[in-house]
Structure 1
């Protein structure tokens, strides 16, 4: 057994005993010959004021109370999309890996439960390069976790994180994001292919620019056996405020106004085309639908 195999086998056994049940949940969707599994990578522990400080406080309290949210910390789930379609085994984002926070970086347990090994992944499609989405690119020995995967990323997102000036311009609170992204992307650079907005990155998978959370953030519209689906990454970062008040500015975004306009445009497209959402931080496995209400208000419904 090589050293990666040893880590995977012993790590999966340890996590199965140590992690709470919510880290082991997954949701499966099948259409025609396509199967989609939502794999849990764990959850984040985030200070609530990071997201809420720019929002109208008088209205905010009512929305939070209605969703049972209180306290000074949010714990959003992290859901990775695994698509299997004939010889293709495609992952959308790769999770946080071992270096971001203890509650995240656990998707190997979910993969193991499906009998899927890192060597089986043929393509890795990246929405954006924040730590919880790409820091899992490397294993504990700084080797690529997915040795056989083509890594696919929007050109604007790649250029932003690989620009040496980003480390200085991103702000002190997020400098580690830039350093971590560059270190990991350099290690997989020879396996990377870049694409533009609107490109069919793989048959049945079309890139859709959804900037604001990061400068080059991409979502992906999928045709799975005639069913329309959309991988939204962090363009819709939660199931409450992002849907009910998409125009409010979230502190988790790079460009506050651009991200708000992206949410409005994206939710309009999702409801108009009746797309099923595959959401990275959405609850109950991350699969659901959006209902259009009045005045640019929407509601998230978990489930198929």
Structure 2
């Protein structure tokens, strides 16, 4: 992907200014004290995985490129999703993967960056009986605030004092490029400030990777560019099967399986985002791949099915006897 002013503006110009804060906690950005821990556990090979719900975000029709009300109505009529006055509510999920004594966190939620309906991942981790100091590795799919916000406290200190932070080089370079930040609308520069602030305390224990690298025990990186330049999934080897944590390949379970070419305002390169999504859907169908995603309906574990010229999501059944 060529990173230039045009592709950056396409992804950031339409972002509502209300979603951006300086990175310091404010009265409007504090997570709600009423958020209760929500988690779901399942086993995969030798690993125990806990899905941690950070909260939810609304996606209004205005955030979808090429949104067509009638097409949306048809897709929503197939299930139980409903468009509210704020939009379609989508979850923000993070993941704890325990492999013996190793504890890996995939994305960290928002902490206090994006409003009162988010910030619950830390409470979920505590409910799972895990202290932040026990996390050995944090894998970041990308550096948007709903994925990296939980790395730091409101005072800017590291939440996970013993964790190695793992992030793709293209992702790191993008958010730390002063020329790119200067080229975007002033109101959208908060994304860059938040991205830099959340990862800064981990500079002395940072692992940068490129391409399809082995990034942690049992994990391989899967480049999924478009949503951000270095957006990455992580494939966990379970022996006789694999599980892909695919980050933000899909934001809306209700609409983007039905209409894979529908992108949102937060996609840095919409054309590449749609191409990556279709390629990943095709691979998931061909390989009967088990997957989970940051914004797939909680707990977000399932498979992709072909449905005519489009696709559908099949959630996995509840795993009993863990």
Fold shared, TM-score > 0.5 on shorter chain = yes
Q: 1:173: Cα distance to partner?
A: 4.8
Deviations 1:1-54 (A, max 9, x none): xxxxxxxxxxxxx94xx23xxx5332222133211110111112343311x242
1:60 aligns with 2:72: yes
1:136 aligns with 2:156: no
Alignment correspondent of 1:9: none
Aligned residue for 1:241, secondary structure, equals helix
Deviations 1:77-113 (A, max 9, x none): 1111110001210011111011221111111111111
Q: Distance in 2 between matches of 1:57 and 1:32?
A: 43
Q: Distance in 2 between matches of 1:88 and 1:195?
A: 20
CA contact (8 A) 1:124 1:152 kept: yes
Alignment correspondent of 1:76: 90
Indicate which of 256, 263, 275 corresponds to 2:270.
Answer: 256
Q: Distance in 1 between matches of 2:210 and 2:184?
A: 23
TM-score (norm 2): 0.83
TM-score (norm 1): 0.87
Alignment correspondent of 1:205: 219
Q: 1:183: Cα distance to partner?
A: 1.9
Q: Distance in 2 between matches of 1:114 and 1:58?
A: 42
1:42 aligns with 2:55: yes
Q: How does 1:101-120 map to 2 (within 5 A)?
A: 101-120=115-134
Q: Aligned in 2, Cα 1:173/1:233: closer, same or farther, shift over 3 Å?
A: farther
Structure 2: state its 5+ residue gaps.
Answer: 1-31, 318-322
Q: Which stretch shifts more, 90-99 or 116-125?
A: 90-99
Aligned residue for 1:27, secondary structure, equals strand
Which structure has more relative contact order (CA 8 Å, sep 6+)? It is 2
Alignment correspondent of 1:92: 106
Structure 1: state its 5+ residue gaps.
Answer: 1-13
CA contact (8 A) 2:285 2:304 kept: yes
Q: 1:279: Cα distance to partner?
A: 1.0
The alignment's C-alpha RMSD in Å is 1.8
Alignment correspondent of 1:193: 207
Aligned residue for 1:183, secondary structure, equals helix
Q: 1:230: Cα distance to partner?
A: 0.4
Aligned residue for 1:36, secondary structure, equals strand
Deviations 1:113-134 (A, max 9, x none): 1110100000000000001000
1:299 aligns with 2:302: no
Q: 1:216: Cα distance to partner?
A: 0.9
Aligned residue for 2:278, secondary structure, equals helix
Alignment correspondent of 1:5: none
Count of residues in Structure 1 that have an aligned counterpart in Structure 2: 284
Q: 1:172: Cα distance to partner?
A: 4.2
Alignment correspondent of 2:175: 161
CA contact (8 A) 2:104 2:138 kept: yes
Q: After TM superposition, which residue ranges in structure 1, 4 or more long, deviate above 6 angstroms?
A: none
Q: Which stretch shifts more, 93-102 or 219-228?
A: 219-228
